Chains A and B, each alone.
Chain A
Amino acid sequence: MASTIRVRATSSGETTEVQALIQHPMDSGFVKDAKGELIPPHFIQQLTFEYDGKPVFAADWGGGVSKDPYVKFAFKGGKKGDDLKISWVDNKGATDSTTAKIQ
């Protein structure tokens, strides 16, 4: 199965810029469907990025993050060809993870 996570990590030598796009409904629990019934909450709660065995970025998210969330950050270091590990867990306990090569 294709991963829900798409990542682009680009090293400029000194820093590595990371952009991630994740496929997820991010239902807040406040929106009603066509029948007028509330769509139950379903959103990613935690997202982590690991490089060289250490966390370089960690997110706690609520239902207010947009559907198919996008996030961008940068960290010092990171070599071209090295792995960056990304994983998330949502409020229903579902998880996904992937490993991206730094370009």
Chain B
Amino acid sequence: MTITGNGFSAKRRLILQGTAAVALIGLGNIPFGLMPAFAAANDKYPEDAFKQKSDADAIKLLYGKTAEASDKVKLDAPEIAENGAVVPVSVSTTLADVTSISFLVSENPNALIASYRIPAGTLPAIANRIKMAKTSNVIVVVEAGGKLYSATKEVKVTVGGCGG
């Protein structure tokens, strides 16, 4: 029995790797708006951020920058939510100097759910309950040391919590 060379599959692997790299680069090109960088410093209710339909727009309005995924942000949410009206979601992080934590649901009519300010001395861990219209990514954004970090998890919803 002889084993023939497997040049084909090696080439295929190279092509796949190339595609993945291109996909990653593509995500970094979100243009900067004219957002005030210090918006998070005051206590005013961020009305406009809560009206945004997309998660990216809400994050940009709220923080004036984009978030990078981090494994130091631990998002705890159910795999499947039987009742989208009450989905328990919690977050904790090992990041230092956390000043703010926000929760977003990509597919909800308005993506931003809640934004919390964390003064010095308060632990960067929050649990709350959110509504989900349908199966969607849940995104949590943590502002630490002036930078934004995020974690994302898909939650499957069997009965939506925002429909009529």
Question: Measuring CB to CB, which residues of chain A are less than 8 angstroms from any residue of chain B?
Answer: 15, 26, 28, 30-33, 36, 38, 45-46, 54-67, 69-77
In the complex, whether B162 has a CB less than 8 A from a CB of chain A is yes
Partner of A32, one of B114, B117, B164: B164
Cβ A60 vs Cβ B122 within 8 A: no
Residues of B within 8 A of A38 (CB): 164
Partner of B129, one of A30, A36, A58, A65: A65
Determine the distance from Cα of A71 to Cα of B130 in the docked complex, in whole angstroms. Answer: 10
Name which of B113, B118, B128 has the most chain A CB atoms within 10 A of its CB: B128
Cβ A55 vs Cβ B130 within 8 A: no
Determine the distance from Cα of A85 to Cα of B113 in the docked complex, in whole angstroms. Answer: 24
Q: Per DSSP, are chain A's interface residues mostly helix, strand or loop, or mixed?
A: strand
Contacts A66-B130, A75-B122 given; does A61 touch B114 at CB 8 Å: yes
Interface residue range, chain B: 35 or more
Question: Measuring CB to CB, which residues of chain B are less than 8 angstroms from any residue of chain A?
Answer: 43, 45-46, 50, 85-87, 90, 105, 108-110, 112-119, 121-123, 125-131, 133, 161-164
**B92 to chain A: closest CB distance in Å?**
10
**A59 to chain B: closest CB distance in Å?**
5
Cβ B125 vs Cβ A62 within 8 A: no
**B137 to chain A: closest CB distance in Å?**
14
**A19 to chain B: closest CB distance in Å?**
8
Residues of A within 8 A of B126 (CB): 71-73
Partner of A59, one of B109, B115, B127: B115
Name which of B43, B50, B112 has the most chain A CB atoms within 10 A of its CB: B50
Residues of A within 8 A of B163 (CB): 30-31
Partner of B161, one of A15, A66, A74: A66
